[in-house]
A and B are shown apart, each in its own frame.
Chain A
């Protein structure tokens, strides 16, 4: 199994540009999450989804949008990139109502210049 796959691994954007960070998982996990990690900080939850067609805001949703049309995919969209969105973004998934661990992708390192 590939687990959780994120693309791209690295990206540089100009202020005001838009882009979509892709995340897909092949474990049939209902729950998926997007986090951002800034230097020296823990992970902050941006958005999460408990199943296809259902999304909800986390701690830091402003400036981001998500969709969940399938169980496998959970893309994160930045509409108007700002320098404050320079960060490393992680996608994660796990089974609901279970004590199984979260599985993480390797992250997308995004710089906004």
Chain B
């Protein structure tokens, strides 16, 4: 059974700092891994998707890495801004197309 764990559950950092969010999964037989952002009362917005054959993806100040063999992914946010405050969710797509989510990391950037 695939389980997805995100650490930490919550994180507060001063504006301008670089930060790393962690995601781990128990079954390495995945199709891809996605990082989502969720603002309060809103749906999920896809940030980055890493295919199982890839090691990392970048979009602006965001960089996501994937180490399938160890069951880990990280989301790196450079030069954090107050607008980055949100919940970040990691989701693993299994080879049978079911998508399993972690519980998320609530990020608060202090102005």
Contact = CB atoms under 8 A, between A and B. Distances in A.
B104 A90 contact: no
A41 interface: yes
How many B residues touch the partner, as a band?
A: 20 to 34
Among B32, B42, B43, B45, residue most surrounded by chain A Cβ atoms (within 10 Å): B43
A88 B85 CA distance: 21
User: For chain B, what secondary structure do more than half of its interface residues adopt (helix, strand, loop), or is it mixed?
Assistant: strand
Interface in A63-113: 90, 92, 96, 99-107, 109
A42 B99 contact: no
A104 B103 contact: no
B46 A96 contact: no
Given A42-B4, A107-B42, A99 B99 contact: no
